[in-house]
Structure 1
């Protein structure tokens, strides 16, 4: 039989990603949308809802699972082995004892972050491969309208973040002193703060933590505004 070609293809300059995803959602498509160009990535769908989205700007799925603490290296290898035998990654991870709620939250955050990154203006090519399945499986699905709404909100917030953090090639460190007597740091913020060593770039921190660029930069933006961290090339404050 001849190989099945893409059911939908074009460029994001002609058909923006939000319109492509809305079309696939409205027609309840199952398959993988691949994007190629300056910002490669993919969006997997099951019956019109998204199961996972990945962008090369962000962490790999392995980094997401390990960095979030969903599983360890041994668990990941076991899940990959099971995936080779046709078992969905999510099913394998759950069997290893992962909490369902934590797994869903991690996959949701990853998917929103990747969709946000893939929505950034570009003229990348896309093609939708119907019937293709991603190894993550379809245990969890996320409605396209909700993902686009959350990603759009991040785009607005990113405009302010980018004024202070124009590039993930920046390197951050703890400030030499705090501007006030005390400051409250949330557990999620501490997760990022603890990785700053004055040498790793923000991009490297993103990949180590398995978090989206937006999530990490949003934390760093807040900590910069509070004077908790500073770029390594910033002049030292008063001692």
Structure 2
């Protein structure tokens, strides 16, 4: 394995890097690092077989957003894996188990690739390296690879259109004008169907099978055409502290927090959670039990800013073996694999004002 191409994005834009690799029909792995983020693209003679960004979008989250898998099905597949690889084995396993068909998986993989490339194109700098490492073809079944230049051109056009029309993620919109009188941007009808004059743009985006930045761009263009209007409503957008070590489950929990009207603050350890409470004031706390969830709950209950907050522990079984009932910290227990309706019900109980329920 050797580095065939390397440099920095501030000197060589990603589009130019893509053009060199794709037109040259290179086979290997492009890795881009910037601060604490890393993106990986596996190229195979002009096609992308695999794409991931950490932290970033996960294939399980995309399959849920596309209504191809439930949150419980994603968790079951992840539980059966020996390791996580940013979602690629999940797609392979989902197809093998008959949970998704070829067309559904192809669309989901393309969506993941598009979101990773779209995020990469917003990076102002980062160190990139392309190596001729062999591609593990078990990650994505044959037929699910994506045309690299087609994705790049599509995403570049979307970013250009959306950049001029972005809106505040906390803004609230409602329908205003007649949408049949203008030419609507792609996805506009889906966005319009979600508007109720109460939920923020961020929450609306979480309900849709579209990248968040795309939803914000559509809302901006609809507002410019007087099809929607901003509502004079100050949305509280309460924060929810999410303690979860698994990046894949973090994405699922974050999605459900957004759909429930909250803003997730996601950490991977109890130490990070305790540190986070120094700067945020969450409305509720979610803990995904990785074997010592009750201990994590007890540690967080000792923090002044968290002691009084509603807290839920997602765990299998009773989850408190070895704990005397009088020593267990006060938490609500949610069964794993968690069900979307049950988890959202718990969240909305604490996040949504009574006047907005129902």
TM-score (norm 1): 0.71
What is the rounded CA distance, in whole Å, between the counterparts of 1:35 and 1:44 in structure 2? Answer: 15
Q: What residue number does 1:49 align with?
A: 47
Q: Which of 17, 20, 24 is matched with 2:14 structurally?
A: 17
Q: What residue number does 1:61 align with?
A: 59
Quick check: 1:71 aligned with 2:69? Answer: yes
**Which segments of 5 or more consecutive residues in structure 1 lack a partner in the other structure?**
235-239
Q: What residue number does 1:116 align with?
A: 118
What is the rounded CA distance, in whole Å, between the counterparts of 2:9 and 2:31 in structure 1? Answer: 12
Q: How many residues align?
A: 226
Q: Which moved more, 1:42-51 or 1:138-147?
A: 42-51
More strand by share: 2
Structure 1 residues 230, 181: closer, same or farther in 2, change over 3 A? closer
Q: What residue number does 1:137 align with?
A: 140
More helix by share: 1
- Partner of 2:62, secondary structure, is helix
Higher normalized contact order (CA 8 Å, seq sep 6+, divided by chain length)? 1
Quick check: 1:156 aligned with 2:160? Answer: yes
Query: Which aligned pairs between 1:162-201 and structure 2 lie closer than 5 A?
Result: 162=166, 165=167, 167=168, 169-175=169-175, 178-180=176-178, 188-196=187-195, 201=200
The alignment's C-alpha RMSD in Å is 3.9
**Which segments of 5 or more consecutive residues in structure 2 lack a partner in the other structure?**
234-358
- Any conservation in 1 of the 2:92–2:138 contact (CA below 8 Å)? no
Structure 1 residues 110, 232: closer, same or farther in 2, change over 3 A? farther
- Any conservation in 1 of the 2:52–2:116 contact (CA below 8 Å)? yes
- Any conservation in 2 of the 1:172–1:199 contact (CA below 8 Å)? yes
- Partner of 1:10, secondary structure, is strand
What is the rounded CA distance, in whole Å, between the counterparts of 2:162 and 2:9 in structure 1? Answer: 20
Structure 1 residues 17, 92: closer, same or farther in 2, change over 3 A? same
TM-score (norm 2): 0.51
Structure whose alpha-carbon radius of gyration is higher: 2
Note the C-alpha offset of 1:7.
5.2
Q: What residue number does 1:99 align with?
A: 101
Structure 1 residues 212, 32: closer, same or farther in 2, change over 3 A? same
